[in-house]
């Protein structure tokens, strides 16, 4: 156990035993560092972990406090999903479109949105960099590195891999129009219509929409809300169905928020390598961790170039700019060729602007603020859900990202709840959106990436009333 984990567990025991009372102020980072003989960074990591668990909350210019309603916080989901293990055609696009269309209005409370508040990003700074890039654009930059992307940006992305101890060459990185294009290019490169693809249960609805578009079949594998996909079940599915690929989100999974421990990620990559199955790794939320450094992706354990690691700046720095990438391993040239025949290129001024921003170090300063904000928001959302929702509701405690997965009582119908909430100007993402078999009818995903204010608090209170039997 790491030092910050041991410290967080020690404080958590003190809170749950009543030694630390609801509303009580914790020692400052400096005080705790001196008393415990630990670095300030370790104290911050422990406090972020406790925030993610909903046990403490940060108050601006005041410090950290025990959450006011610790004793009544809802329990976490404890069991993995139980899909039937069949390989099936996917038909979710109509449902997803209908639900998303009802929430695409600024006056709707965006609890069902897939995006955090744009107010949390340094868009003015990125905008100035974008304007400068466009004004001083080298005409030849519009054709240099046409399909793989801007060389300076690819170098900056490769450097970020290097910081995490990963040897990823800039030559294997292809810049794309957001992570979704990267994911689509990857899955198209390793499958043909009628093939089966392993996905988590539940999984992000855009993954299911892509499988539907390409005529692929989904094999849903049990997934735990804390530790991710079950490897024994995955191996059984491989032996039974011989899938052509896996499309997984091992870190801060959408919608569950789960993160596979590193040793399980290593075992995942080794398992797939034994069966010669490529992994399409969706890793768009990894920079939004609350404690310590970011979790290593499955890509870190790849030895034969089978893992295609997809990410973007849309969730961490520049929403709307649609700058993503794939570290495609041995398939980099094939992915680049596919992009050449589809979208050809990605916005050149936006690539240059982001490369300049990364070179100047602004990204990491922004991330430190963003992570702290998201951790604080998560704890406030969970505390409000504890007050508003029916007894027996279970809520995940992700250690990063901005989604919460709620399990309501058996018999609850979140599709009906979505319709009723929509009439009140509130959007939610009901569980069946995240399943090829339309499961998880008593579950929903909530977005806690919007600043907690009276409007959000009122919407959660209304939603809790609507959710009561």
Share of the chain above pLDDT 70, in %: 98
User: What CATH code is carried by the domain that includes residue 11?
Assistant: 1.10.10.10
What is the per-residue pLDDT for 20? 83
What is the per-residue pLDDT for 69? 59
| CA-based nearest residue to 382, from 368, 371, 393 | 393
Q: Do 69 and 166 belong to one domain?
A: no
Q: Do 158 and 230 belong to one domain?
A: yes
> Phi/psi at 242 (nearest 5 deg)?
50, 60
pLDDT band at residue 109 using 50, 70 and 90 as cut-offs: very high
Strand 307-312 vs strand 279-282: parallel, antiparallel, or unpaired? Answer: parallel
The 8-class DSSP code of residue 172 comes to G
Q: Do 213 and 287 belong to one domain?
A: yes
Q: Do 54 and 152 belong to one domain?
A: no
SS (H, E, C) 362-403: HHHHHHHHHHHHHHHHHHHHHHHHHHHCCCCCEECCCCECCE
Q: Do 293 and 158 belong to one domain?
A: yes
Q: Do 136 and 36 belong to one domain?
A: no
Q: For 2-58, what is each residue's pLDDT tens digit? A: 788 889 888 987 886 667 888 889 999 999 999 899 999 899 888 988 887 778 888
What is the per-residue pLDDT for 295? 93
43 inside domain: yes
CB atoms within 10 A of CB 137: 13
**409: three-class secondary structure by DSSP:** coil
The answer to whether residue 326 scores a pLDDT higher than 80 is yes
- Hey, what are 15's tokens? 């809170």
209 inside domain: yes
Q: For 363-420, what is each residue's pLDDT tens digit? A: 999 999 999 899 889 988 998 999 999 999 999 999 999 999 999 999 999 999 999 9
- 271, with CB counted inside 10 A (0-12, 13-18, 19+), is middle
Number of domains in the chain: 2
Q: Do 152 and 285 belong to one domain?
A: yes
Q: Please name every residue paired with 222 in a beta bridge, in sequence order, or none if there are none.
A: 201
What is the per-residue pLDDT for 17? 62
Q: Do 252 and 149 belong to one domain?
A: yes
Residue pair 87/217 in contact by the 8 Å Cβ criterion: yes
Beta strands in 108-184 (DSSP E): 173-177
Integer Cα distance of 433 and 206 in angstroms: 9
The answer to whether residue 231 scores a pLDDT higher than 70 is yes
| CA-based nearest residue to 338, from 151, 212, 181, 152 | 181
Give the residue numbers spanning the domain of 164. 121-362
| CA-based nearest residue to 300, from 309, 291, 311 | 309
- Tell me how far the alpha carbon of residue 326 is from its chain's centroid: 16
Phi-psi region of 447 (alpha: psi -120 to 50; beta: other; left: phi over 0): beta
Integer Cα distance of 311 and 325 in angstroms: 6
Integer Cα distance of 203 and 431 in angstroms: 10
Residue pair 67/55 in contact by the 8 Å Cβ criterion: yes
211 inside domain: yes
Residue pair 224/258 in contact by the 8 Å Cβ criterion: yes
- From 362, 394, 412, give the residue that closes a domain: 362
- Hey, what are 413's tokens? 């119908």
Integer Cα distance of 44 and 420 in angstroms: 41
225 inside domain: yes
332 inside domain: yes
263 inside domain: yes
- Hey, what are 125's tokens? 């700074």
Q: Do 29 and 130 belong to one domain?
A: no
Q: Do 290 and 164 belong to one domain?
A: yes
The answer to whether residue 349 scores a pLDDT higher than 90 is yes
The answer to whether residue 61 scores a pLDDT higher than 90 is no
390 inside domain: no
Tell me the helix, strand and coil percentages in the chain, rounded to 5. 45, 15, 40
- From 362, 395, 425, give the residue that closes a domain: 362
Length of the chain: 469
Q: Residue range 260-282: average pLDDT?
A: 97
What is the per-residue pLDDT for 70? 54
Our separate counts of H helices and E strands in the chain read: 15, 15
User: What CATH code is carried by the domain that includes residue 313?
Assistant: 3.40.640.10
- Mean pLDDT of the chain, nearest integer: 93
Contacts of 275 (CB under 8 A, 6+ apart): 238
What is the per-residue pLDDT for 161? 97
Contacts of 328 (CB under 8 A, 6+ apart): 172, 173, 174, 186, 308, 334, 335
Cα separations in angstroms, 208 against 104, 184, 323, 328: 20, 11, 22, 21
367 inside domain: no
What is the per-residue pLDDT for 59? 85
The greatest distance separating any two alpha carbons of the chain, rounded to the nearest whole angstrom, comes to 66
Q: Do 149 and 266 belong to one domain?
A: yes
Residue with tokens 């250690």: 399
- From 73, 91, 110, give the residue that closes a domain: 73
What is the per-residue pLDDT for 102? 76
Exposure on the CB side of residue 469, measured as CA atoms within 13 A: 10
Q: Do 69 and 142 belong to one domain?
A: no
pLDDT band at residue 72 using 50, 70 and 90 as cut-offs: low
Share of the chain above pLDDT 90, in %: 78
CB atoms within 10 A of CB 242: 12
């Amino acid at each position: 156990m790491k030092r910050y984990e041991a410290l967080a567990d020690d404080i958590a025991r003190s809170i749950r035993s009543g030694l630390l009372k609801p509303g009580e102020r914790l020692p400052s980072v400096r005080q705790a560092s001196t008393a415990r003989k630990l670095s300030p960074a370790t104290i911050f990591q422990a406090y972020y972990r406790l925030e993610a668990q909903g046990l403490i909350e940060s108050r601006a210019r005041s410090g950290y406090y025990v959450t006011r309603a610790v004793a009544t916080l809802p329990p976490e989901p404890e069991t993995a999903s139980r899909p039937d293990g069949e390989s099936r055609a996917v038909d979710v696009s109509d449902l997803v479109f209908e639900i998303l269309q009802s929430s695409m209005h600024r006056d709707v409370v965006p609890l069902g949105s897939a995006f955090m508040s744009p107010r949390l990003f340094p868009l003015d700074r990125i905008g100035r960099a974008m304007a400068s890039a466009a004004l001083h654009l080298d005409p030849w930059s519009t054709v240099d590195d046409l399909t793989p992307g801007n060389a300076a940006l690819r170098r900056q992305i490769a450097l970020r891999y290097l910081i995490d101890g990963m040897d990823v060459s800039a030559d294997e990185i292809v810049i794309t129009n957001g992570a979704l294009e990267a994911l689509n290019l990857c899955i198209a490169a390793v499958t043909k219509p009628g093939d089966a693809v392993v996905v988590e249960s539940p999984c992000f609805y855009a993954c299911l929409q892509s499988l539907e578009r390409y005529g692929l079949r989904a094999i849903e594998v049990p997934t735990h809300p804390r530790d991710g996909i079950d490897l024994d079940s995955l191996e059984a599915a491989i032996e039974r169905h011989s899938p052509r690929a896996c499309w997984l989100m091992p870190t801060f999974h959408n919608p569950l928020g789960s993160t596979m421990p590193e040793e399980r990620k290593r075992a995942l990559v080794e398992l797939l390598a034994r069966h010669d199955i490529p992994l399409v790794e969706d890793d768009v939320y990894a920079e939004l961790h609350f404690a310590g450094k970011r979790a290593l992706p499955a890509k870190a354990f790849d030895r034969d170039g089978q893992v295609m690691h997809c990410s973007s700046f849309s969730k961490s720095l520049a929403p709307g700019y649609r700058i993503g990438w794939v570290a495609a391993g041995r398939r980099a040239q094939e992915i680049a060729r596919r992009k050449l025949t589809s979208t050809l290129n990605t916005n050149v001024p936006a690539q240059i602007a982001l490369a300049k921003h990364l070179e100047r170090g602004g990204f990491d300063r922004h991330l430190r603020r963003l992570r702290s904000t998201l951790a604080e928001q998560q704890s406030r959302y969970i505390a409000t859900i504890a007050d508003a929702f029916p007894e027996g509701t279970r809520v995940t405690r992700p250690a990063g990202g901005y989604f919460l997965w709620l399990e309501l009582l058996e018999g609850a119908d979140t599709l009906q709840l979505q319709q009723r909430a929509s009439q009140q100007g509130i959007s939610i993402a009901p569980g069946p959106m995240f399943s090829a078999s339309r499961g998880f009818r008593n579950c929903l995903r909530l977005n806690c990436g919007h600043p907690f204010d009276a409007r959000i608090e009122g919407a959660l209170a209304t939603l809790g009333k609507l959710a009561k039997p």
